[in-house]
Amino acid sequence: MKIRIVSAALSACLLLGTPLPLSAAQALPVGGITTTVSDGRYIDSGWMGQALILTLNGQSWAMGLNLMSDYPVFLSDDGGVRQCVIGDSAVIDVFLSAINEQLKGQIFNSDSPIFDTGTGSYIYNSGQTYYQLNDNVKAWILTTLQQQFAAGKPQTLTLELTDGYLTPVVMEGTLTYSPDFVLSGTCTTSFSTSSSNRINNIEVAAGHLNNMVIMPGQEVSVSDAIKPRTTENGYRSAGAYLNGRTVPAIGGGICQVSSTVYNAVKNSGLTVLERHPHSMPVHYLPLGLDAAISAGTKDLRFRNDYSAPVILQAYTEGKNLIVNCLVWNHDLNGRTFKLWSKETGSLSAKTYFTTYQDGEEVSTEYVGASYYMAPKPADSDAEDE
């Protein structure tokens, strides 16, 4: 979301200390230990020379992690995985409060609806507005610091303040919640037979997409949006497709998220720029309706060609993944859409896209053909990608 800044330019505030010498982490006592962030026996002392940086529209604010050196932490071992719980967050509160004070001076006028993630509703604003950081910012900071202090390599930690971390505040004028944004497209897929690692990967990827606000003209890369598939980003090893077989891979299962998103955004009338079928069939969608992603080679990309923002919701409920797309009713103007496929063989399908006006079919377009290879016998019962 673009913000017109009318206050003076803000510079970064870097509060960095002198890096301390690195030290190897020692084994933890049985039952864990309460110590401090700067205890180089258990937490890499290189963290004391690093910074936490928040960015927004070319601005940046930094907090030296050495300011937390005396903060208590509880370290424990959970099945071979080191856990860390930070016992104080006062310096983080001061840091975020200072940013909020500066944001109050950055006033903008909204010409299109805004999505308020705090209430889960679109709002209209006829007056002046500024943004404030919401609780998601502190939650991200604490979670990230605890994970990284436990086992991460010392590095600068950066968070881009996208819409999910900001709440609009109206200074003057009116603020009304819009009834005009409707559920235009939705898709639900099941992961009832999936392993815990695969479910974890689905939840992590969906979390990066949930409450995403897609501005008019904005293009979205799903592969980029769900972040690199690494253990540092929360992904685990699960089944993925490779040369006709299912093999273990970090992030296995994320293609169920991209496939579910594909159906939801197409059924909302968004423009799909790139989509690839899997190499083999998947169990959670019919042939021709899946969308594979693989870093650097395959992606699902789409664009919002409407005049107002679109909101993407992605979350799990029970054993299902649900993706919704909310569109301004005035942009739809009575139109609805349906993505569907027709199998042309046991391993092939043709995909079509139908547009309806006030419930009456007005056009059907051919989207393309998808071809798959048969799973090799040893993997016929293996987990889907």
Whole-structure pTM value: 0.58
**Residue in 149, 164, 104, 150 with CA at minimum distance from that of residue 128:** 104
189-221 pLDDT, tens digit per residue, is 999 999 999 999 999 999 999 888 888 899 999
Q: Residue 212: which region, alpha, beta or left (left: phi > 0; alpha: psi -120 to 50)? A: beta
**3 state DSSP class of 100:** helix
CA–CA dist 249, 326 (Å, integer): 33
- Any residues with CB less than 8 A from the CB of 193 and at least 6 apart, and which? 283, 383
Instruction: Compute how many other C-beta atoms are within 10 angstroms of the C-beta atom of residue 155.
Output: 12
> Which DSSP string corresponds to 265-300?
HHTTTPEEEE----SS--SSS-TTS----BTTTB--
Q: Give the pLDDT confidence score for residue 179 in this predicted structure.
A: 55
Q: Give the pLDDT confidence score for residue 14 in this predicted structure.
A: 27
Q: Give the pLDDT confidence score for residue 17 in this predicted structure.
A: 29
Residue keyed to tokens 């169990």? 283
* Residue 240 · residue 246 · CB < 8 Å: yes
Q: Give the pLDDT confidence score for residue 153 in this predicted structure.
A: 84
Is 377 exposed, middle or buried (CB count within 10 Å of its CB: 0-12, 13-18, 19+)?
exposed
Distance (Å) of CA 191 to CA 188, 203, 208, 254, 283 = 10, 11, 18, 11, 9
> Which DSSP string corresponds to 117-177?
TTTTEEEEE-SEEEEEE-HHHHHHHHHHHHHHHHHPPP--EEEE--GGGEEEEESSS-EEE
Strand partners, 246: 241
Q: Give the pLDDT confidence score for residue 120 in this predicted structure.
A: 52
Q: Give the pLDDT confidence score for residue 53 in this predicted structure.
A: 96
For the chain, 385 residues long, the average pLDDT of each consecutive 10-residue run is 29 29 62 90 91 94 94 87 90 96 84 55 64 92 91 88 83 57 92 94 94 88 95 92 89 97 98 97 97 94 92 92 91 95 97 97 97 75 56
According to DSSP, the β-strands at 121-125 and 59-64 are unpaired
**Residue in 308, 339, 304 with CA at minimum distance from that of residue 220:** 304
Residue keyed to tokens 């891979």? 249
Q: Give the pLDDT confidence score for residue 159 in this predicted structure.
A: 92
Q: Give the pLDDT confidence score for residue 158 in this predicted structure.
A: 93
According to DSSP, the β-strands at 51-56 and 157-160 are parallel
87-97 pLDDT, tens digit per residue, is 999 999 999 99
